[in-house]
Amino acid sequence: MPHRLASIFFRQPSNLKDFLVCSNRKMKLNKPIKLLAIFVFILFLVSIVLLTDFYGNADTYDYSNVAKFFSGDFNAKIRTSHSYLYGLLHAPIVDLTDSYLVFKFSSLIFLSLIVYSVYVISGKNKKSLWLMVFSPIVWYMAPWISPISLASLLFLWGYYFIKKYDFTSNINYLFYCGALLGLSWAFWDGALFFIHLLGLSFLYNKKLSHFIGFMIFVLIGVLPRLILDQYLFGFAFYGIIRHIMASTAILLYGGIYGETLVSRSMSLVILFFIPWFSYILLKKEVFRESKKDIIFVILALIILFMNSQIRLLLLILPIVTLLLSRNIDQKGFNKQLTIFMIINLIVIVPYVLQMNNSISSIQGQDIGSLIVFERNINQSFSKSVISEDLKNIGEEYPDETFIVGNKNDNYASLANIYWGDRIKEFVSIEDYNLFLSADPIISEKKLCTHNRINERRDFCASIILRSSFSDKTNYSDITYAITDEDKIDLQRFSLVKKYNTLYLFRKSQ
């Protein structure tokens, strides 16, 4: 089986020499030493992941809060910009444990399966195994609460089957690919953009009927998400349309809060995560042999640099590793492995520092955010201290609803941290201000025609983001507010008490 896989992907024998060498003598390490090295690696990585307080600094609440919501322990309105499916998958264990630790275990499992899958798909090429084991993206993503690891695993096997389809013309492989890619999309919205690139790269010269069949099976794969959205929102395509519209709004308008996608400094950081010897893939003979694969990688990297997020590399680098491992020579391989090890030491530094909860200034930071000095205000605190404050507030003011400011989404941070039933609800300061203004519209964008002739009509299409129609919160009865600052951006609220980190305010009568 491994040799058959290798013949499909590499079109050449896969009996490569062991790559582990001792100095310049190219001495093979015996099997026990290899197994010991793998065991030490696994133990070290697991220790870092489980001991660090880092869970990620982008979209983590979109998954952890959803899991907490489905477990029935979330003391706020749920709002996420991403698929609810990944949070639902983890909800039963979150309910049993009252913690998010299950996300770290699942991340390790999915990353391990990606590493092993690359090894198997390559025909058990040991170079591919070790390039993945020491790939900085694996070490970087290990502690994250993110569906990208699961989506990348599914995407990798989708790539495997479209490669088999391209080699054998067996349309069944194309259908397997479509279903796996659709399931990848069901868990992670960002997979949509890469699915199109993969289909474009491999199907541009195929029959139209094959492309249509491929798209049908993509939709079959995404069915779990469509069914869930139909149940939650009464519209199966609610989440997909919302994400596409949000991404378009950020790209064209900067989003409703002025977000941007492109970061030049972060793009430079991303370059260090890509194998430095990837330039080999652009050599004429290599490109000719794997043209479709390399075209996909190039297009995907363009999308990645437009988005400027390190974690998106996890979807692409397993494929890069498959291509690189068959073309890199022994000397280049040894150098690449050394480079990876050095980068890994840098990558894990923030995670190791966050094993000590008292270092609040570095909480919620990864190597990318530290290098480009991007601080996440919502996570620049010690979670244990915040948890203690919320517990005390709940004991002193039981069954109360609290406005949370001064940032619009700070309420989600507190609801994420708090495990208890003494606080009734955390309310966003944005929602409270919408109640006061009696205007439910948060943002509105219009796209209009502008006739150049003497025409009677122009037409406009409007997209409105507004507060929920089914909001049942009694805002007029809210008496208290919480912030992590010594003032709150609300009239008639005065400071009552300062806790370790949080400040409590009361509305005057």
pLDDT at residue 256 is higher than 50: no
Burial class of residue 120, CB neighbours in 10 A (0-12, 13-18, 19+): middle
How much helix, strand and coil, in percent to the nearest 5, is found in the chain? 60, 10, 30
Q: What is the mean pLDDT of residues 125-140?
A: 94
Is 239 within the bounds of a domain?
A: no
Is 336 within the bounds of a domain?
A: yes
Alpha-carbon distances, residue 340 vs 143, 190, 214, 321, 366 (angstroms): 18, 26, 37, 13, 17
Q: In terms of domains, do 306 and 186 share one?
A: yes
pLDDT at residue 273 is higher than 50: yes
Q: In terms of domains, do 347 and 387 share one?
A: no
pLDDT value of position 34: 64
Q: In terms of domains, do 71 and 216 share one?
A: yes
Q: Is the pTM of this model over 0.85?
A: yes
Is 251 within the bounds of a domain?
A: no
Which of 268, 262, 273, 181 lies closest to 221 in space, CA to CA? 181
Q: Of 351, 374, 401, which closes a domain?
A: 351
Residues comprising the chain, all counted = 509
- From the CB of residue 441, how many other CB atoms can be counted at a distance below 10 Å? 11
Query: DSSP string spanning 360-390?
Result: GGGTT--HHHHHTT---GGGSS-HHHHHHHH
Q: What is the mean pLDDT of residues 485-492?
A: 94
Helix 191-203 vs helix 291-307: angle between axes, to the nearest 10 degrees?
A: 150
User: Residues with Cβ < 8 Å from 316, sequence gap 6 or more?
Assistant: 194, 297, 300, 301, 304
Q: What is the mean pLDDT of residues 269-278?
A: 92
pLDDT at residue 130 is higher than 70: yes
Q: What is the mean pLDDT of residues 442-454?
A: 84
Q: Of 351, 368, 400, which closes a domain?
A: 351
Which of 273, 238, 275, 239 lies closest to 86 in space, CA to CA? 239
Total domains in the chain come to 2
pLDDT value of position 13: 37
Kindly indicate the confidence band of residue 31, based on its pLDDT and cuts at 50, 70 and 90.
low
More confident: 1 or 93: 93
Rounded CA separation 384/402 (Å):
20
Residue 465's identity, in one-letter code, is L
Q: What is the mean pLDDT of residues 140-145?
A: 95
Q: In terms of domains, do 17 and 131 share one?
A: yes
Is 85 within the bounds of a domain?
A: yes
pLDDT at residue 123 is higher than 60: yes
Q: Which two tokens stand for residue 335?
A: 């150098």
Q: In terms of domains, do 407 and 304 share one?
A: no
Q: In terms of domains, do 282 and 415 share one?
A: no
Rounded CA separation 389/478 (Å):
20
Q: In terms of domains, do 394 and 312 share one?
A: no
Residues spanned by the domain of 480: 383-507
Average pLDDT, the chain: 87
Q: Which two tokens stand for residue 101?
A: 């630790």
Compute and round to an integer the Cα radius of gyration of the chain: 25
Q: pLDDT tens for residues 336-379?
A: 999 999 999 999 999 988 886 555 566 778 888 887 765 444 44
Q: What is the mean pLDDT of residues 160-177?
A: 96
pLDDT value of position 41: 74
Q: In terms of domains, do 303 and 387 share one?
A: no
pLDDT at residue 4 is higher than 60: no
Report the phi/psi class of residue 240: left, alpha or beta, with left for phi > 0 and alpha for psi in -120 to 50.
Answer: alpha
Q: In terms of domains, do 118 and 194 share one?
A: yes
CB 237 within 8 A of CB 226: yes
Is 254 within the bounds of a domain?
A: no
CB 315 within 8 A of CB 155: yes
Q: In terms of domains, do 282 and 184 share one?
A: yes
Rounded CA separation 280/124 (Å):
21
Q: Which two tokens stand for residue 331?
A: 């000397």
Query: Of all helices (H) and strands (E), which one includes residue 24?
Result: none
Is 237 within the bounds of a domain?
A: no
Q: What is the mean pLDDT of residues 304-333?
A: 93
Is 137 within the bounds of a domain?
A: yes
Q: What is the mean pLDDT of residues 478-506?
A: 95
Q: Which two tokens stand for residue 268?
A: 């430079």
pLDDT value of position 371: 76
Q: Calculate what percentage of the chain has a pLDDT beyond 90.
A: 65
pLDDT at residue 98 is higher than 80: yes
Rounded CA separation 121/8 (Å):
9
Is 378 within the bounds of a domain?
A: no
CB 25 within 8 A of CB 335: no
